[in-house]
Chains A and B, each alone.
Chain A
Amino acid sequence: MNDLTFFLRLFKPHRLWLAGGIVLALLTAFAAVALLTLSGWFISASAIAGLGGDVLLFNFMLPAAQIRALAISRTLGRYGERLVTHEATFRVLTEIRVWFFAQLIPLALGRLSESRSGDLLTRMTADIDALDALYLRLLAPVVVAAIGVTAVTVFLYQYDPFISLSTGVLLIISAIAIPWLFNRLGKDSAENVVTLAASLRLRQLEMLQGMTDLLANQAYTRFSEAFANNSERLIDTEADNNRLTALSSALTLLLSQLALLLALILVALGYQDGALLGADIAIVVFCVIAAFELVQPLPQALQMLGKTQAAAHRVRHLATLTPTIDIANLTKALPSHYDLHFHNVSFGYSEQFILKNLNLNLPHGAKIAIIGASGSGKTTLLQLLTRHYDPQHGDILLGDVAINQLNHDELLSCFGVLSQRSQLFAATIKDNLLIAKRAATQNELNEAVKFAGLTQFIGRLPDGIHTWVGESGAKISGGEARRIALARLYLKNPPILLLDEPTEGLDSDTERDVLTALASFAQHKTLVMVTHRTVGLELVDVVYRMEQGILIACKTNANPAH
């Protein structure tokens, strides 16, 4: 519950919209109940008046007009309610997304670059979508039902306390007890559905990605049978759930009818006391019939409650993770020169150190490569520079200042990173480039495009640099994506280049282009490259091998470039 109230507090700036939606929903619910009740009363009273002959005393104009007014206000109220509640929901949606994004910024490097974060974020997006419904499907219907049920019970009490009691109890049972009971009964199979759906996705992805190997090994049929089996088990479990849902809707209907039945019997029994007479009977009976519409959305709301709560918990948990580094309170100014110095640096993700007592001096303009097997800690070393993590022991200095004394963003402005994963955003090529330099002029953009060898590629696109790329955009090959990353590097023009397998996965032409471009670009810059291959080593002066957490100098190029 705590998690939900936490998010409800986030909604505060939009409370007028939220309250407005609920008020309109209440008005609509009132109009709906009143319409049926008044109609029932009207024809009963008319009939009695018609029989009794005191027609002239009966003012039929007013109720007839009221009935028409209620009919119209029910329609208008519903329309207005839907508009306002949706408006409120969308406002809340913005609020949650902005909040979530802001929470994740300090976690972006380090925490979120840990393995499988892609899946995690996909799941989070679904969770946040679930939170969007918090107001629309949960909060609003619950508030409306609570107020509505209370009002109906109080209203009925004035006519007959027993009918009020029986109806109130049955309303509460069908609003709370039934959904709660069936949620409990369906809990296991609901959890099974999640597990089975996850394994079904995994199987499907494996089949898609490993299709060649499956077919070549004549193993496809076996996998496809297992997949079909899994799919059937999933659907069977969903069928179990569906049976429960069907049972609960049948029971809910029965309860509303039981309330009606009880009301009729109580009326018949109470007749002798003269408790209820004539048209009042119609008021009571029709009010009971209409009241159950109030609790109709509640089973769904309660189903939502569990899901939304779990989603809220996960989202909040992720957002409250601590960053992997301490953000310095006192930040020093950036030094004027960019010598890098590792002093007795030790680091490990767990107890076990990956980097052991590492020392390294890189005067500005030095160019080194670090080679070694994957998992040897090469990439980790680069990530200590960008402060994905802080070392457990030792210092890393930029100029004369320890990097953890610098403002993180200012520190990052000194580095240009090129890795095997080139992140493209769903945006135009131009916007993707502008990430590196917001204020870049058209001229600068053209130069960057030329530098990265993208001129031809962009020239072929009908929309040129304004072509939409990334998800649902134009297809971009890995090579072109790397070139865009290279153009970004050029625009940013940082003093230190950090290259992590910069040509991995590229075809030989692109590989050659990227290396040539880097060679000229790096001339007056510091360059640190990590790789497991021999390609590109001509860019550097010294090659180190990373082994067991220490660096061993293994090759020095005869003629350093500077």
Chain B
Amino acid sequence: MSETNNQRYFDQHHAREKVCAKWLKDQSKTVHKPILFATLAGIINGVAVIAQAALLASILSTLIIDNSVIGWTEARSPSITLEVIGLQLVGLIAVFLLRSICIYAQQIAGFNAGAKVRTAIRRQLTDTFALNPAALKQQQSGALAAVSLEQVDALALYFSRYLPQQYIVGVSPFIMLAVVMPVNWLVGLILLITAPLIPLFMALIGMGAASAQRNQFLALTRMSGYFLDRLQGLATLKLFGQAEAELTAIHHSADDFREKTMSVLRIAFLSSAVLEFFSAVAVALVAVYVGLSLLGQIHFTFAPAVSFKIGLFVLLLAPEFFLPLRQLAIYYHDRAAALGAADAILTILEQPMSKNVGWVSDSVTQHHHDSPIIEFNKVSKSYEQRQVLADINLQIHQGEKIALVGGSGAGKTTLLNLLLGFESVTEGNLWLNGQALNRENATKIMAYVGQNAYIFYGSIADNIALANANATAEQINAAAHAAGVSAFSNQLPQGLQTLVGERGYGLSGGQVQRIAVARAFLKNAEIIVLDEPTANLDKVTKTQLLAMIAQLFNDKTVIISSHDDEVIQGMDRKIILQHGRLVS
């Protein structure tokens, strides 16, 4: 890649990341309450830590110094010692309980924030999938499902852990500084100087680390993907005698993956090492400073005097000062993961298919006497630059039996998609019973039989009832009987109650289509739309199915697309599409 290409890639990447980050921020507004609550719990915990350090320093000072001093003169009974520190111990217990409650509350509130976002985004995604079923067919359903499931889950930790921690980092260290400064400004100064260095150095190293983390994540996904790919193709490899050879290749690719990842990790780990280094050095500095000034070895004019109690207090507080920052660094990959997920989610939400729906019912009505049931008026349809249908004028009247004919790519399927309201027209008008056609009114009076009806997991009866959730058992039986479903379901031990679909009994292509016809029959729709219903059937099954369609839908308007002569001959009227235009 050339330098400028690199730069362009970097810029694009950067711009995309900004978009994703902004989207995440927008989502967080919907859950600001639980996030705020989690943040508050974290801050209260931080304050409790200060109290804990003060109490502990005071107790230890009593035990170590006072006792040592008194111990040289007179022995004191343990009960007196306990009396002296007793109240402080009770205070300590109270602080401990408070901290535990805060930890609990922070985790619960954080989870709620993540849960709310997940529910909302998942709903948004599934609704987007429904916008354009035609475009959906061209995508891998497994990959889409992974976005609505795993990627949506990957958002959660950003809202439940990262964001509250980010706010805590903005508050807690400053509260601690405000407490330490009046007590001992020199220690405050040590903390104040080392703390801002951390983000600075982390930013320097982290520039690479953030993208390094993403690269590592990508590499891991690729590695898993590669392995799965070869596993799934194992039978093919075996048939070609290449299975053993692939072992070396897997070894090789895993080694390659290791080397690449390690070179990335060497940088990524460096940023957390810097963080640790500064916090450790700051603690060491405080310890040495406090120790030396207690010994009286430090003789600054301006240096404040240090008592043992105060020395202990600041020493105990020093590591806690850096803790929120270290925690944020640990949660940093939550952000990286959420950004990656946001990218995948936005890619779907921004897809052109989601812009399909200008599509809510239009109130325009066309008044005609004896108007055709369906009318295409100068209808065109384009996808971006490519015109699929051009200037279609077509009237279909009640009861007509129409064959829609044309080679593959002529626009048959697109025309049917427009008819069902699955897609919107680019130009022109489409009327249904004199009203502007939309998905709602179209699917209400049309039944649809596709090339391969989809069988859902459930009983055969459930699958027929898809067309009418309120159908009675008698109606379903009648539909099953009419469409010849009973002919095969009777042979199954559980009849219409046999489970089919994913994990269920495997149906043949002909049986699936009969269920689709039974659905259409049960729906009792005015218009039956069939998209190459016999494309995957053998000759005998095809003839049977066609006879059934002719008989069952004798009094309906039937529109069937096909390039099969046998199908076409059974119809009254032939509409020929060629390169997106009507021929006859």
Binding site for B on A (CB under 8 A): 35-36, 39-40, 42-51, 55, 58, 60, 63-64, 67-68, 70-72, 74-76, 78-79, 82-83, 86-87, 90-91, 93-94, 97-98, 101-102, 104-105, 108-109, 112-113, 118, 121-122, 124-125, 128-129, 197, 200-202, 204-220, 222, 224, 227-228, 231-232, 235, 238-239, 242-243, 245-247, 249-251, 253-254, 257-258, 260-261, 264-265, 267-272, 274, 277-279, 281-282, 285, 373-375, 386, 409, 412-413, 415, 417, 423, 425-426, 435-436, 438, 470-472, 488, 492, 505, 507-508, 532-534
Contact = CB atoms under 8 A, between A and B. Distances in A.
A215 B443 contact: yes
Interface string B496-511: 0000011100101100
A243 B269 contact: no
Given A64-B291, A224-B130, A532-B538, A426 B257 contact: no
A374 B283 contact: no
A202 B148 CA distance: 12
Contact of B283 (A39, A104, A124, A245): A39
B225 A472 contact: yes
Interface residues of B, number: 141
A47 B238 contact: no
A18 B8 CA distance: 42
Interface of B: 56, 59-60, 63-65, 67-69, 71, 75-78, 81-82, 85, 89, 92-93, 96-97, 99-101, 103-104, 107-108, 111-112, 115, 118-119, 122-123, 126-127, 129-130, 133, 136-137, 141-142, 144-145, 148-149, 222-247, 250-251, 254-255, 257-258, 261-262, 265-266, 269-270, 272-273, 276-277, 280-281, 283-284, 287-288, 290-292, 294-297, 308, 311-312, 315, 319, 408, 420, 422, 439, 443-444, 446-448, 450, 453-457, 466-467, 469, 501-503, 506, 508-509, 516, 519, 523, 529, 536, 538-539, 563
A553 B461 CA distance: 39
Nearest to B224: A125
A93 B63 CA distance: 53
Given A43-B290, A90-B257, A207-B126, A417 B296 contact: no
B291 A43 contact: yes
Contacts of B319: 36
Contact of A261 (B60, B93, B227): B93
Nearest to B102: A250
Contacts of B270: 79
A264 B63 contact: yes
B130 A211 contact: yes
Contacts of B142: 205
| Interface SS majority for chain B | helix
16 contacts: A44-B60, A47-B308, A68-B288, A90-B254, A101-B234, A105-B238, A113-B235, A202-B503, A204-B126, A205-B141, A206-B457, A219-B469, A235-B115, A271-B67, A281-B64, A508-B563
Contacts of A113: 235
B107 A101 contact: no
Contacts of A219: 466-467, 469
Contacts of B141: 205, 208-209
Contacts of A220: 130
B111 to A, nearest CB: 4
Given A232-B119, A261-B93, A129 B295 contact: no
Contact of A108 (B85, B243, B272): B243
B254 A98 contact: yes
A121 B258 contact: no
Contact of A281 (B60, B75, B466): B60
Given A211-B130, A250-B101, A409-B241, A271 B63 contact: yes
